[in-house]
Structure 1
Amino acid sequence: MCERTRWESTATVRVRYAAVDLGHAVLAAPVAVIAHPAPFHFTYSDSPVSEVLLAGAGRQPRSPDRVRVVSVQGVDAAHLVLTDIDLADCLFSGAFHLDQIRLEGRTTFAPTPIGWQRRGIRPMRFTRRRTLAEEHHWRAHIASQPIPTESAAPNPRLWRPGPHHTDPARTPDPEDVAALYRQLRKAFEDGKNEPGAADFYYGECEMRRHDTTDTTKGERRLLWGYWLLSGYGLRASRAFAWLLAAMSLTVLLLMIFGLPASVPEPATTGTLNGSKISLHTSTPDPALHGTWSQRWSWARVEKATRVAVNSVVFRSSGQNLTIVGTYIEMTSRLLVPTLLALGVLAIRGRIKR
């Protein structure tokens, strides 16, 4: 439907139970494709058009699989408006001015696979986010997933293979998918939908992290660290989990190596030369003595916790520490506030308008 058509004037296409293919259509004026929420009515009467023979007629009127756009390849998207459309299988590669497309209403994209996956001997799980069909095709290709039958429903635990699943030359590369994510992210940001753009920023960073052609090894390592610590600044739970782990490790290391056995007392020494007395007061360096069992006490836990909490806001606790403990505190005062900032950044990215 609508493939290789030409639209010379403004048009609004209202459809139900349809799969719209806009591939290589020429849009000379704005064109809107809208999922109609209710049955159509006859023009000569007020009775609705029967939908008994339509596929999925028994489903809810606004279920996301009612109207699908399967391709906008080769389309000048600057004139395209999609409202309440399912874009889970839509191919965007080859579209022009994709950053100017308008996506309105309940526009849905394909989700990531659910559940735990296995890569070699390492278990892994993908965080929930909206993804493009091109990313599904690339990941299904590198995972060597089997080709499903045409009548089979998509497996929610697997990536969706593309139409050229067995041909690597026709499967999008990470650099191509990253460009698509970047343009769609800008489209959401221009529409003042910052939370909606977050998933596309995540997808862009993911593709750059996997791109071995245009992304240098150093940049990929930085992206890997950014992903690991905070999910590219979009996963607050991950950043706060690392924050809690860093503070717990700081407390543990301070109890074992950083807190002295006792507070060093100042000592004063003097010399008498004739009628003059010279006095010198010095405080010995904090030292750690005692057995391992003596280092585990609630008093030491309280002192170490105070040091760790103060490091969150770059404050010194004023606690006497050994030389090793001083370096532990310095490291904590650098790392812990960074993790806190990443967590706050992730929250802001999800609620900013």
Structure 2
Amino acid sequence: MDMSWRTCALEWCRGAHISDDRCLAHLNREQQRRYFDSLGPGSRVDLRNTEMTPELVKQLNRAVRDDEGRALFGRADFAGARFREFTNFEKAGFAGADFSKAEFEGPVKFEKTILRGRTSFSDVRFGGNVSFVGFTGEEISFRGAEFRGNTRFDRAVFTESEHARDTFAAARFEKSVWFDWAVFKRETRFDATSFGGETFFRRAVFEKSVRFLPEGGFPRNLWFDDAEFLGICGFDGLDFHGYTSFADAKFAEAVVFGRSGFHQIARFDRVRFGGSARFQQVSFADDTCFDDADFEVEERFGPVEGGPMTFRHTKFRKRMVIDIHAEELDCTETAFEEGVTLRAGSASIDLERAVFGKPSMVAGADSATGVVSLRGTDVADLVLTDVDLSKCLFAGAHHLDELRIEGDCPFGSRGRRQILAEEAAWRRKSPEAIRPRRIADLYRQLRKAQEDSKNEPGAADFYYGEMEMRRHSPATPWSERVILHLYWLVSGYGLRALRALATLAALIALVTVGFRIGGFKTTPAFGDTLVYVAQSTVSLETKLTSLPKDLTPFGEVMRLVMRVLGPLLLGLTLLAVRNRVKR
């Protein structure tokens, strides 16, 4: 293999020539000493393709040490060099360096190293653990580098550069890599980078735009806790296979997660999205947390799908359109400051103490979508459309009489009527059940809301529930409870037409028997007596000549009873029919 520089005279060695036709590794000790004595702080070194032992590296550092004891190199060329065992350039300074295609067989330390000018680690092979903790690099490139051990870039500073935005393009990290507290002052891209182990960017700062396009996504756990992204950030089209955390991260500009997939737990709690936050067509397979997050300018979230998702205490500053298909959706104390249109295909949506600053709508995407709680929520500006309310808790909701319920919104059922989850819990004698009097108040407010929406049949069910709770409440006076029991018994609170008719028929039959026994001074035929009692119900005079004209005092009393109770029961029947068919 021909070299463009003078190489060692040994046929099998391609190390750069130093003296006497030998490379540094093949000089004798005296020749090596003279070479090192010729160097000083800022000296240029050319050790391309040279085999470097830990002792040679130690002597080299000592040869270019300045008065402060820091190794200070001029331009250093280690292209193709092979570093045996442990390599230590800790606290060294380079005025540009080339390590391209070099091979480090053991652990490497570049801690607190300063790399000025262009520095290349392209296609380098790091066989052991590598530490660049606290180093500063200008135009530095790790394109195609391979890191076979754990790698640390904690507190590293990548200074601004026009030529190094692809710093880690096609690099390969086989084990864990740390960028905790690192500062990227340049535009940075991780194109085709391979992350084989856990990846840490905790408290890292990206001052310019950054884009992650790693090969195969992130196969292991990923941490961006407390990271700051001051420029545009791209994570679109990625697969996050492990636990992923952006907890307490800050995005000053736009961030894109479009078409990404999170296969395990994903955390975005307390994240501040200062710019646009794109989560279109994202899938979350496991628990996902956006608790206490702050969306300052974004106006759309979704469509996304996945497992349980939580937005507890989250703030949406602009009017939002949210499209989520998740197993569960928890929006406890979520603030929609300018309102929201929430379309959810979730088995349960918790809106307890949520804040709707402007008119809002929650719509179900399918029949399985259900709201489970509106406790403590001001629902004056809320519309519920096509959501299951059979498990929804309303106790503590504000302005419940102004809640609008549209479309197919089924409640729980008891017999033929709709009931609230609070009543169902009370009937089950649940320890968390509230008192009947309070349940009656809920029914009263929801009845008004249904009446204002011209939904009379729905309002009728809530009226029935209200009366039921008043009848069973210990706080209701006993006299009123007696009346309510009778009202329920004879007509189902004026809502059961068949019950009222049955009561009327029973009354007519009973009075007919009474008239036969002692209502007339003589005993008429049963059929004539029945007709007479029925006519008395509607205050009609009988035309039957076969009936006696004179009534006994007992008969007069029964006739008076029928003239009072008959029209009353007939009126209750008509009222029940009206309540069911009125629109």
Deviations 1:95-144 (A, max 9, x none): 100010110000010111xxxxxxxxxxxxxx421000111111111xxx
Give the TM-score normalised by structure 2. Answer: 0.42
Does residue 1:236 correspond to 2:524, yes or no?
Answer: no
* Counterpart pick for 1:322 among 544, 552, 556: 552
Does residue 1:135 correspond to 2:391, yes or no?
Answer: no
8 Å Cα contact 2:379-2:403 kept in structure 1:
yes
Q: Following superposition of structure 1 onto structure 2, how do residues 244-259 of structure 1 map, counting pairs within 5 Å?
A: 244-259=505-520
Work out the CA distance in 1 between the residues paired with 2:527 and 2:348. Answer: 64
8 Å Cα contact 1:27-1:79 kept in structure 2:
yes
Does residue 1:306 correspond to 2:536, yes or no?
Answer: no
* Counterpart pick for 1:200 among 458, 462, 475: 462
The structure with the greater share of residues assigned to strand is 2
Deviations 1:307-345 (A, max 9, x none): 112112123437432332222212211111111111111
Q: 1:243: Cα distance to partner? A: 0.5
Work out the CA distance in 1 between the residues paired with 2:468 and 2:401. Answer: 19
Larger Cα Rg: Structure 1 or Structure 2? Answer: 2
Work out the CA distance in 2 between the residues paired with 1:253 and 1:343. Answer: 24
Work out the CA distance in 2 between the residues paired with 1:17 and 1:139. Answer: 27
Q: 1:195: Cα distance to partner? A: 1.3
Sequence identity, in percent? 46
8 Å Cα contact 1:307-1:329 kept in structure 2:
no
Q: 1:189: Cα distance to partner? A: 0.4
Work out the CA distance in 1 between the residues paired with 2:346 and 2:398. Answer: 27
Work out the CA distance in 1 between the residues paired with 2:370 and 2:485. Answer: 34
* Counterpart pick for 1:89 among 367, 373, 391: 391
Q: 1:231: Cα distance to partner? A: 0.5
Work out the CA distance in 2 between the residues paired with 1:26 and 1:339. Answer: 47
The structure with the greater share of residues assigned to helix is 1
8 Å Cα contact 2:340-2:356 kept in structure 1:
no
SS at match of 2:535: helix
| Aligned AA (1:331) | V
Work out the CA distance in 1 between the residues paired with 2:395 and 2:525. Answer: 60
User: Which structure has the higher relative contact order (CA within 8 Å, separation 6+)?
Assistant: 1
| Aligned AA (1:111) | S
Gaps of 5+ in 1: 37-61, 113-126, 142-164, 262-294
| Aligned AA (2:413) | P
8 Å Cα contact 1:311-1:337 kept in structure 2:
no
8 Å Cα contact 1:259-1:304 kept in structure 2:
no
Work out the CA distance in 1 between the residues paired with 2:570 and 2:344. Answer: 48
Work out the CA distance in 2 between the residues paired with 1:205 and 1:233. Answer: 11
8 Å Cα contact 1:88-1:109 kept in structure 2:
yes
Give the TM-score normalised by structure 1. Answer: 0.68
Q: 1:87: Cα distance to partner? A: 0.7
Q: 1:179: Cα distance to partner? A: 0.6
Q: Report the aligned-residue RMSD.
A: 1.5
Work out the CA distance in 2 between the residues paired with 1:102 and 1:307. Answer: 51
SS at match of 1:82: strand
Larger mean Cα displacement after TM superposition, 196-205 or 12-21: 12-21
Does residue 1:186 correspond to 2:448, yes or no?
Answer: yes
Work out the CA distance in 2 between the residues paired with 1:322 and 1:210. Answer: 42
8 Å Cα contact 2:349-2:371 kept in structure 1:
yes
8 Å Cα contact 2:446-2:462 kept in structure 1:
yes
Larger mean Cα displacement after TM superposition, 172-181 or 329-338: 329-338
| Aligned AA (2:461) | D
Work out the CA distance in 1 between the residues paired with 2:512 and 2:387. Answer: 52
Match of 1:347 in 2: 577
Deviations 1:27-80 (A, max 9, x none): 1111211112xxxxxxxxxxxxxxxxxxxxxxxxx53xx101010111110011
SS at match of 1:309: helix
Work out the CA distance in 2 between the residues paired with 1:190 and 1:12. Answer: 22
Does residue 1:67 correspond to 2:369, yes or no?
Answer: yes
| Aligned AA (1:180) | L
| Aligned AA (1:171) | A
| Aligned AA (1:7) | F
Does residue 1:335 correspond to 2:565, yes or no?
Answer: yes
Deviations 1:155-187 (A, max 9, x none): xxxxxxxxxx33xxx420011100100000000
Q: 1:18: Cα distance to partner? A: 3.3
Number of paired residues? 249
Does residue 1:9 correspond to 2:338, yes or no?
Answer: yes
